[in-house]
Amino acid sequence: MELLIQLFLGFLGIYTVIGVLFALYFFFKGAFALDPLIEESKWTVRLLLIPGAIGLWPLLLFKIINKSRTSL
């Protein structure tokens, strides 16, 4: 059981680290790819998106990739 908990916590740590790195990308460039109107908003609005980007990074990454494929 302890091994299972360690594996789960390791996965959760890796997921969070990737999420934080993605959130930094999303803060500076990724949000513009999904919504061009966010460029007109203040940086504090984009700052509010960071916790969601950390938790939902696979979904947001998938949306950014699909958006870039359809725009080509």
What is the 3 state secondary structure string of the chain? Answer: CHHHHHHHHHHHHHHHHHHHHHHHHHHHHHHHHHCHHHHHCCHHHHHHCHHHHHHCHHHHHHHHHHHHHHHC
Token pair of 41 as six digits? 């908003």
Q: What is the pTM of this model?
A: 0.84
Q: Rounded CA gap, 64 and 72, in Å?
A: 13
Q: Rounded CA gap, 59 and 72, in Å?
A: 21
What pLDDT sits at residue 72?
Answer: 61
What pLDDT sits at residue 23?
Answer: 95
pLDDT in tens, 21-57: 999 999 998 888 888 888 888 888 889 999 999 999 9
